Amino acid sequence: MNVCLNLVFVMGFGMGVDGVGWATVISEHISAALVIKSLMDAPGALKLSLKELCIHRQKLMRIIKIGLPAGMQGAVFSISNVLIQSSVNSFGSIAMAGNTASANIEGFVYTAMNAVYQTNLSFTSQNLGGKKYSRINRILYICLAVVAVVGVTLGLSAVLGGNSLLRIYSSDPDVLRYGMLRLEIICGTYFLCGIMDCMVGSLRGLGYSMIPMFVSLTGACGFRVLWVFTVFASHRSLDVLYLSYPVSWTITALAHIATFRKIRRKLPKKDAVPI
């Protein structure tokens, strides 16, 4: 729906950024409605009954313990993104247009990789609850391999087809040039972001949410802010600015790997024997 509405609003109705915005809002509402309907029609424990919705205090506290740090992480990340966006804006409207068009294309790659992160989180938590400790590492390795393949395949496809994809948003040669610059640096290395997120999925699946939040905020958010005021300030160019992304993903992923190994040692290596 998002892809189709983008084409209808931007190419069909001649709308610009507002058309992309409306396409996103409408597609998200449709997606939410379909998910709710699917849950209401689902069998067994998955079935959603709107009439029986209520708050269970104990479960609510567990949800907050895991979910609140994740939400705070996303909110604070906006600070670094705003700072980077303001840095992009300093290069003029053409650079802004190219940056925005490229970011929209990257969103499809990120969504595909984020699905693997969600899978990793779900399967890790399920096997932790079932005391199948021997599967935890295997789940992580499989998800890392899948997210790397998805990230490399879709990322490079976006780079190779970048000019054609960017022409959906603009035919201006300068806009295309700026858009390709971002695609080549960020989309070309986007698999690193997927690896970073997969490590977060494993940690949250093991019940740790505060630790990956602090690691991500320090390694990704904090590092990018530092990059803008140091490296970018000394070498003011968009390619230097965009390089903050793959560098921060690599640093944060390595920190998550070290954290996971430390936490994993606290858990048994063998499955619990049923009583």
- For residue range 138-197, what is the model confidence (pLDDT) as tens digits? 999 999 999 999 999 999 999 999 999 999 888 899 999 999 999 999 999 999 999 999
Q: What is the Cα–Cα distance from 274 to 151, expressed in whole angstroms?
A: 39
Dist CA 238 CA 91 (whole Å): 8
**Whose CA is closest to 189, among 238, 227, 155?**
155
The contacts of residue 116 (CB under 8 Å, 6+ apart) are 143, 146, 147, 150, 194, 197, 198
The pLDDT assigned to 274 comes to 62
Do residues 157 and 105 touch, judged by C-beta distance below 8 A?
no
Find the DSSP H helices in 161-172: 162-166
Q: So what's the pLDDT on residue 268?
A: 86
Percent of the chain with pLDDT over 70: 98
3-state DSSP call for residue 1? coil
pLDDT tens string 79-94: 778 888 889 998 998 9
Model pTM score: 0.77
Query: Among 184, 8, 170, 11, which Cα is nearest to 100's?
Result: 170
